[in-house]
Structure 1
């Protein structure tokens, strides 16, 4: 074999070895890719299972939150004509059932029975009662289905001395007390303990409430409350008011503003979302506010009279508006409030 032929043979042998090596490397690479894909699929399956568990817990929490939100409307008497009754009760607000049992144990509150159920709402919603302390009713979804709801009589228990906040006490007749207790005993949301404890700008929040059915004022919706997600964009210096971007409609006044942990930061009071704007303002309520209201029951209809409440709301809310939105003229701020 000549030297030239030997070099050609060696080149062919080297090329064959390179091809075999490339083939082996390809097989190893493909095996590695398949193994990696299997591992990724297993990780995705595990993550899906975990997320499903989180979703189940989240959905369960969401159901409890929704079931604690009620529609509040004027309670007509049995003698009121049906058409008039339907018309009067078509205007409504919203409210949220509070978990108050622990306050009976931790505080000496004379007017507070540990078996009572209390609903937090806006003072201007409570004023719909007129001269009757027991002139309101709260409509709760009974089992998370839109076609089922239960209506309970409510009386005005207390009105905050400065803010747009009021407490209603559920009033049950002896014949219905067991059914009402079984319905409401597993519900009720909590308030933050201290001011500033839960207040952070850009913190995510959720607004709940029952929007008005403007299309037909003689038809009353009794389905689940609606939820709107948003975030905090500002709050007053003394943390009495929170501005947020959740969408709030007429009829949602008094409905709760919740943080990610399910605490009630406050209730819907006023804003310009009603008119297609960008913000709404909730009146904040903390444990001390609740204890103060439980300790100071309303004495007479003058405490929840519309003109009295409007004057009080304007004073405290206008101060909050100057602090949260200093660039908004006072005339425009007053439009937001009333």
Structure 2
């Protein structure tokens, strides 16, 4: 029976791609901003952890957790709040900015140089169903590993547990999400994520299972979190775009390209048929006009010869008359010779049969076509564009999607300062920032006026490797000789270190800016 149910579930998953599981890469990317929040006492000059919970970054220097996680530090000024990052780095202290016992939320400012990747919050109404993932530091896992409180000062990866949303219902104090993604003591304050790694709520507490009942858990919903953050001056990243897997996006892109190719083939066939009909019509008209012109020229030559014959007879009459008028004879004779020459010219300059092909070619050339160096409108030098996101072709988990001003030159210079590389028929630029753990690969198609950014949200170690590879070359400046080709080669090492699939893909359509 168990195998049958397993097979049935697997078959259902294949037949229902819309119910895709969470992408591990998205959950891992979100987990980079999850931290362990430790309440620390100082005893005899030594730091002693009293308790711990979980938190997550909503800004590079601000962390959200539960109010009950930091309750002891709020009551005792001698206790301090420690922040231990997930992906390595030194632990730092945090300063409590605000806490709300009513909604069980607290906001902490991170001191020191620790820079955390903020998590994006899901916009819109909380879901009533669907997959979710809890991320945090459950104490029972620490105990199972034999870790004592002293060990928690070491950076450890958080625990991820999957479950389902069981509904949205308010608790006695605040709006919450009921779910089955297991949490335990220590998970409090950690994020509840959707399949794209966006925060749906802040895990807070579990229902009493009475030792045998099914376990349910509660997370403070974003309906409470967003106003709390706004009231304390935090502009969180909110993303209300549909959650789509990269596989779904790639499949939709393949279908779109197949449709475009089908339409292009149909249009090409239709234009070919129209061209054939136009050519046949032009061929018929050219043949008729050339034959008419030839006949007209032959008739003209024949008529002129008759005139010349008449003038010749007149000249002969003058020549035989007595007395002979020499002046009139010369004029008539000269006239006869001129008419003969004109007749000969008319005959020799009649259009040949090759004139048919020339007239067909002229008829098939559209009026106003510029075959000079100007080319088509898409290749007329520099472009001043405004680029707007195309939601149905994009996958966005945490990035901003505002409109972009994009000024492009034929040499691949953007906005007068950023040189793009050219390799394999593609213009691209790799960005490896120092202040963010993400590599972006931007590309531009000047013919289609499409701008695309693929973002790879990397771990600290992978990011350091990418930065090391980036330091091996200096990007050429706009206007440098051979800059595009040179940069296209220089970027290959960084590109070779990136995962096969990005976390985000932002596709923009660009149009001329007034």
Calculate the TM-score normalised by the size of structure 2. 0.36
1:248–1:273 CA contact under 8 A, matched in 2: no
Partner of 1:217: 148
Structure 2 residue 47 is matched with structure 1 residue 98: no
Partner of 2:163: 230
Structure 2 residue 259 is matched with structure 1 residue 294: no
Matched residue SS, 1:200:
coil
Aligned pairs for 1:188-337 within 5 A: 188-193=118-123, 197-212=124-139, 213-214=142-143, 215-221=146-152, 222-236=155-169, 240-272=175-207, 277-285=214-222, 286-294=225-233
Distance 1:294 1:131, change over 3 A: farther
Deviations 1:199-253 (A, max 9, x none): 2222211101101133553442431000011111122259811110011011111
Partner of 2:355: none
Partner of 1:139: 84
Distance 1:254 1:294, change over 3 A: same
Matched residue SS, 2:231:
helix
1:158–1:293 CA contact under 8 A, matched in 2: yes
**Cα offset, 1:90, TM superposition:** 5.1
Partner of 2:32: 67
Matched residue SS, 1:76:
strand
2:27–2:196 CA contact under 8 A, matched in 1: no
Paired with 1:120 and 1:274, the residues of 2 have a C-alpha distance of 27
Partner of 1:76: 41
Structure 1: which 5+ runs fail to align?
1-53, 100-115, 143-147, 296-338
More strand by share: 2
Distance 1:218 1:92, change over 3 A: closer
Paired with 1:97 and 1:249, the residues of 2 have a C-alpha distance of 20
2:178–2:217 CA contact under 8 A, matched in 1: yes
Deviations 1:25-51 (A, max 9, x none): xxxxxxxxxxxxxxxxxxxxxxxxxxx
Paired with 1:235 and 1:242, the residues of 2 have a C-alpha distance of 5
2:126–2:221 CA contact under 8 A, matched in 1: no
Calculate the TM-score normalised by the size of structure 1. 0.53
Higher CA-based Rg = 2
Structure 2 residue 68 is matched with structure 1 residue 124: yes
Matched residue SS, 2:31:
helix
Distance 1:244 1:157, change over 3 A: same
**Cα offset, 1:71, TM superposition:** 0.6
| Equivalences, count | 204
1:233–1:243 CA contact under 8 A, matched in 2: yes
Partner of 2:104: 164
**Cα offset, 1:149, TM superposition:** 4.5
Partner of 1:110: none
Matched residue SS, 1:150:
coil
RMSD: 3.2
Distance 1:128 1:294, change over 3 A: farther
Structure 2: which 5+ runs fail to align?
1-19, 235-514
Matched residue SS, 1:128:
helix
Partner of 1:113: none
Distance 1:189 1:216, change over 3 A: closer
Distance 1:135 1:90, change over 3 A: closer
Distance 1:76 1:274, change over 3 A: farther
Distance 1:63 1:200, change over 3 A: closer
Paired with 1:153 and 1:274, the residues of 2 have a C-alpha distance of 36
Distance 1:61 1:270, change over 3 A: same
Matched residue SS, 1:75:
strand
Distance 1:275 1:98, change over 3 A: farther
Partner of 1:155: 95
**Cα offset, 1:275, TM superposition:** 6.8
